[in-house]
Structure 1
Amino acid sequence: MSKFVLSEMNIYPIKSLGGISLQEAKLEERGLQYDRRWMLADEEGIFITQRKHFELALLQVSILDGKLKVSHKKSPAQHISFSLDEDTGKQIPVVIWNDTATALEVNVQVSNWFSDFLKFKVKLVKMPERERRMVDPRYALNDEVVSFADGYPCLLIGQSSLDGLNEKIQSPIRMDRFRPNFVFTGGEPHVEDSFKDFYIGEVLFSAVKPCSRCVLITIDQQTGEKGPEPLRTLASYRTVGKKIMFGQNLLHQQTGIIRVGDELKVMRWKT
């Protein structure tokens, strides 16, 4: 039996912007600390993502000394930063897919910076600690909550799944297109599809739903440019009921510290 080891861990503090690679992270009730706790919303409160606005891939996020900084990958002089606990206190209803949640605007200056970048009016909002956005009850195990992520607190992908895909396409792509929280080594491509309950280090997770993929994975996260791959190739061998699947959405049973190098121990497999 192959040994599974956590090889990479990422958070995406602002939904649809560049991620941060970590060696150690705190897993909280709604996912990894700081993961998708902020989001851009238009004047109607509807969430903004790379699916329509490819240029968001060019904005890199970093966290240092209690501040979150956003800078342009191609012109780093173009940047803005704000305190992690900053907000105006004014509640704004926002929409993520079929969910409505309550958010707080960070501040007008930050919203204006993003509006200038996107060339239309947006607000940068954060999720208040008291907000309870529920995981889809069809898949929830214990009334779990989620941040501004699409639907689940964490996403897992095996490195061998990407390696297998890269053998099938002309120009290899990077894992960052799939925006996973956890990447692990070991096993065959897509072995994660058969995980049911497993530990990463001391924390117990359940894989509850395969992750269906969209146009976002066709955007190069370094250039913000879009192409046909890897969606075209994945469609040829990873289509299930008209959806293209890659990776597993997770729910966790407890909070704790997770570190790169932790072993994944599968307790139960899907039949």
Structure 2
Amino acid sequence: MQPPDSATVEHISIYPIKSLDGRPVERVEIVTNGGLAGDREYALFDEDGDYVNGKNDQQVHPIRATYDGETARAAAVTLSTPAQEPRQFELGAVDSDETAALADWLREWFGYPVTLDRNREGGFPDDTTASGPTIISKATINTVADWFDGIDAAGMRRRLRPNIVVSGVPAFWEDHLFAERDSRVQFSIGEADFFGVNPCQRCVVPSRDPDTGDEIEDFNKTFIEKRRTTMPDWSGGDWFNHDFRLMVNTAVPETSWGETIAVGDELTVGETVTADDTPVPAE
């Protein structure tokens, strides 16, 4: 049976502070460089200028973050850890007294100096070439959760950290949104245009409990084996030099910066074009 050529946006998450908890939103504007307003707008750095994130420090995982604000951009964050009571900090200019207090709070938890930086337009994406929102289907999340004992769909979504979850399509349908390395797949969400670039190369983070940082033994091995044996006919291409890939990285043409996407919008797949015909270079 031919898979459907459209899906519906069911969930949108942004991650105001890179590597910390996400925040669900009903609608969000696309900003400069194709990111979502408020997504990874802030990031934590150590003294060497490297990210303080789940890949580099497991102490990130026990930090709980909740956000306040009337728009997609968070106005304040409340942080807590198993050793620290919840404390709220305003989010704004990174040279403020409030930010200095937040850095002191984080230093106490990590045991070394941590600074907070901000990029209001485009944030701090993992993939600087494909800096648009990441996309996965609800069915994929459910399927991958079933590969592991003790992980439900909500827990798997927290591990994978997608921006957009779509419904109404089968597992791994989102693999329709990328093609060969020298190609891009055009698609739209509501009035906004996108290019699907590549399947996201996963790191150690999905193997860890998002609350404790504890790792599942042989997570990567199991994931790769299951991904390989469940790969649909429409997946593949020259991106799969290994099978530890899931979710789609995207880019947004400048003509769609300023557009808004929302829960309930339809995602419609368009044509596959060469990378030379897009603002996203070939890998």
TM-score (norm 2): 0.76
Deviation of 1:233 (Å): 2.1
List runs of 5+ in structure 2 lacking aligned partners. 178-184, 229-239, 275-283
- Counterpart selection for 2:206 from 217, 231, 235: 217
- The alpha carbon displacement at 1:147 in A equals 2.4
Match of 2:124 in 1: 148
**2:125, 2:66 → 1: CA distance?**
16
CA contact (8 A) 2:198 2:248 kept: yes
1:155 offset after TM fit, Å?
A: 0.6
* Residues 61 and 149 of structure 1, relative CA distance in 2, 3 Å threshold: farther
Say whether the 8 Å CA contact 1:155–1:248 is kept in structure 2: yes
Change (3 A) 1:220 1:49: same
Q: Distance in 1 between matches of 2:100 and 2:220?
A: 37
Q: Is the 8 Å Cα contact of residues 7 and 184 (structure 1) preserved in structure 2?
A: yes
Q: Out of 87, 90, 114, which is 1:122 matched to?
A: 114
1:153 alignment partner, SS class = coil
Kindly provide the CA deviation profile for residues 178-234 of structure 1, in whole angstroms up to 9, marking residues without a partner as x. Answer: 111100012222111122211111111111111000110112223443223643322
Bigger shift: 30-39 or 170-179? Answer: 170-179
Determine if contact 1:106/1:125 at 8 Å carries over to the other structure.
no
Identify the residue that residue 167 of structure 2 maps to in structure 1.
Answer: 185
Amino acid at match of 2:245: M
Q: Determine if contact 1:49/1:56 at 8 Å carries over to the other structure.
A: yes
Q: Distance in 2 between matches of 1:182 and 1:229?
A: 28
Q: State the distance in 2 between where 1:149 and 1:61 align.
A: 20
Residue identity in the other structure for 1:36:
R
> Does residue 238 in structure 1 map to residue 246 in structure 2?
no
Cα 1:200–1:109 change in 2 (3 A) is same
Partner residue, 1:205: 194
1:158 paired to 2:114: no
Structure with a larger share of its residues in strand: 1
**Amino acid paired to 1:149:** P
CA distance in 1, matches of 2:162, 2:260: 17
Alignment of 1:19-98 (within 5 A): 19-30=22-33, 31-57=35-61, 58-64=63-69, 67-72=75-80, 77-84=85-92, 86-88=93-95
Q: Does 1:258 align with 2:261?
A: yes
Q: Could you say if the C-alpha distance between residues 73 and 264 of structure 1 is closer, same or farther in structure 2, counting changes exceeding 3 Å?
A: farther
Code of the aligned partner of 2:198: K
- Corresponding position of 1:249: 249
The percentage of aligned residue pairs carrying the same residue is 23
1:39/1:248 Cα in 2 relative to 1: closer, same or farther (>3 Å)? Answer: same
Q: Is the 8 A contact 1:67 1:83 kept in 2?
A: yes
CA RMSD of aligned residues (A): 2.5
How many residues are aligned here? 239
